[in-house]
Structure 1
Amino acid sequence: MRALTLLAAIGIALSSASIASAQSGSPPPMKVRSDRISVTVEGKGPDVILIPGLASSREVWTGLATRLRQSHRLHLVQVAGFAGSPAMPDPDGRVAAPTAEAIAGYIRRERLKAPTIIGHSLGGEVALMVGARHPDRVGPLLIVDALPFYSLLINPAATSDSVKPQAAAFRNAMLMAPATQVEAMQSASIARLAKTEAVRPALIAAAIKSDLKTVADATYELMTTDLRPELGRITVPVEVIYAYDPIYGVPASNIDATFRNAYASTPHVSLKRVDGSFHFVMLDQPEAFARAVIDFLEKRAPTTINK
């Protein structure tokens, strides 16, 4: 069940409620756009970049943003092609890697000094790419229910080359499926991604707005990209928050081992499990998730946060 859940997360995703307007006393939201990403900036204080997952809207961070915007300047990223944003085809069919470069460019262009980066799912992989490939530009990384090589869930001995045929078949099946079948797959996938039933209809609706080719290309890229050899280049603290629920059908210790082994080569890494949650920890366990994020931020840059 755990493998199905995270593989569903590779191939489909979500949106949630709208991000509330900045509270009184904060600068009004500002939008910055490039070919690969658009960024909404709100709040004031130390910089925090938030990256949503595959086919997700930046609005997935609504609850967390409400807690942080009074004490941090939030940079809420929207990836091109996801949740209704215009698609930006890549000649090599990549999504995560160009997004990572766009975020690194954004950090440089906006002169951000060591921003904290929080990424969920595909966004977590993007955060790892930025941290490993531009270590001098980032602050601490918070990775939410993401692995540096997703195909480990299919086969612990998998390699980038060995999974290419399976990844290509999965991508092609997504592109060839009729619209009705795609919608049915989305509904089934969301049920494995979000434990909280009330949020599922909005997540399905948002997934339908995503560009199918962008999602298919990103799926292939995630399944064939192994970031483990690059993790040693990350020089900042990394915390990995991951989900567990008994419905996975495996002991929690097995999930612990999967994440521990996957991140074994990461310097300065810590792992934190959140129980009673599926893939979208911020929706299924919003209070536990917010506390974990606030603790992470306060350990590295003490500040006054609305708890």
Structure 2
Amino acid sequence: MKYLLLAAALALMPLAACAQTPAAAPADHGHVHADFESGRFHVRVEGEGRDIILIPGLTSHPDIWEPLVARLEGDWRVHMIHIQGFAGAPAMDNIDGPVSAPVAEDIARYIREQGLEDAVVVSHSMGGTIAMMLAARHPDLVDRLVVIDMIPFMGNVFGGATATPASVTPIADQIGAGMAASTPEQWRASATASIVGMVQTESLRAGPIEHSVTSDPGVAGRAMRELIVTDLRPELAAITAPTEVIYVAFNNPGMTPEITDGIYAASFANLEGVVLRRIDDSAHFIMLDQPDALAAAINDFLD
């Protein structure tokens, strides 16, 4: 499975480089940020109109959403989440423990405190896990949900169809520890190799590589461990927001687009009415490899 290759690459991420390069504080990013106090993330806000929240993946920066934002149809007030510990942001409250679940809870608080109504949530990879947690545990806060290239239980990648969170915990522990222990030299080499597999467009790889290099190793390792052991399939039925899942075909030998379709259908079987949409000729970062196709799919779903 493509996810196995992705997870294996992420497992080798030697993000210790960030210990060599101090991360800039949120206020130094030069963007307009929401007036919201959180040690889990900060939020870049731009535009006026209906509210849309964009949640990026592991070690990603809000910049990855720029191609999509430029192609959204209609008037939108865009809220781009930047998770603390990723892509140059200091770890703050993400310095210990899980990451996705606390971030999801603080996004719920953000929606309430900012008075957002009928909010659309668009998410990628680990951001998809966060978004599914948010929509399942706070269904009243999400009007529409888009999940890009993420399944609800990554444990199946490591333990097969019968995997449980308990059965995949040993390898999750190993992966998390390995990410934190790698040297800066190992990190740059493995981060580059993994991005090559996740971004098909060669000219667009530099940004995601730099985002990984400037992420905190402990935060990323614990976040990856949490993704592997978190099974959201039983919670999907609690999601009331119309949901679209957009994905790419698994790229390892023996897999076909039809097999990929079947895996996604089985993974999201508990989510009634879910729209499953595959985009071809793309790697994991669909917003970079196929920005027009991704935007068309999302605009059509939100129309």
TM-score, normalised by the number of residues in structure 1 = 0.87
CA contact (8 A) 1:245 1:276 kept: no
Counterpart position of 1:24: none
1:44 positional shift: 1.4
User: What is the CA-CA distance between 1:114 and the residue it aligns to?
Assistant: 2.4
Distance 2:8 2:198 in 1: 7
Identity %: 42
CA distance in 2 between counterparts of 1:271 and 1:289 reads 13
The 8 Å contact of residues 43 and 70 in structure 1, kept in 2 or not, is answered as no
How far residue 92 of structure 1 moved from its aligned partner, in angstroms, is 5.9
Residue identity matched to 2:275: S
TM-score by length of 2: 0.88
The code of the aligned residue for 1:164 comes to T
Taking the aligned partners of 1:242 and 1:106, their CA distance within structure 2 comes to 28
Cα distance in 2 for partners of 1:245, 1:146 equals 12
Q: Distance in 2 between matches of 1:223 and 1:246?
A: 20
Residue deviations 1:153-203 (CA, integer Å, cap 9, x gap) = 222221100000011011111222222112211111111111111111222
**What is the CA-CA distance between 1:9 and the residue it aligns to?**
7.3
CA-based RMSD: 2.0
Name the counterpart of 2:228.
223
Number of aligned residues: 284
The SS at the match of 1:75 is strand
CA contact (8 A) 1:44 1:70 kept: no
- Which consecutive unaligned segments of at least 5 residues does structure 2 have? 14-30
The one-letter amino acid of 1:231's match is L
Distance in 2, matches of 1:6 and 1:49, equals: 25
Aligned residue for 2:146, secondary structure, equals strand
The match for 1:54 among 50, 53, 58 is: 58
Q: Deviations over 1:237-256 (max 9, x none)?
A: 11100012656651111111
User: Which 10-residue stretch deviates more, 62-71 or 220-229?
Assistant: 62-71
SS in 2 for 1:190: helix
Distance 2:171 2:258 in 1: 28
AA matched with 1:31: A
Structure 1 residue 194 corresponds to structure 2 residue 192: no
Q: Is the 8 A contact 1:5 1:278 kept in 2?
A: no
Structure 1 gaps, min length 5: 13-27, 299-307
Higher relative CO (CA 8 A, sep ≥ 6), structure 1 or 2?
2
CA distance in 2, matches of 1:10, 1:96: 16
Q: Does 1:77 align with 2:81?
A: yes
Aligned partners of 1:147 and 1:126: how far apart in 2?
12
Q: Return the match for 2:288 from 259, 273, 283.
A: 283
Q: Which moved more, 1:187-196 or 1:82-91?
A: 82-91
Look up the SS of the partner of 2:122 in the other structure.
Answer: strand
Residue by residue, what CA displacement relative to the aligned partner does 1:29-78 show, whole Å, maximum 9, x if unpaired? Answer: 44344211111111111111000000000110001112238611111111
Q: Aligned to 2:282, what secondary structure does the other structure show? A: coil
| Partner residue, 1:263 | 268
C-alpha distance in 1 between matches for 2:92 and 2:9: 21
**Pairing of 1:117-156 with structure 2 (within 5 A):** 117-154=121-158, 155-156=160-161
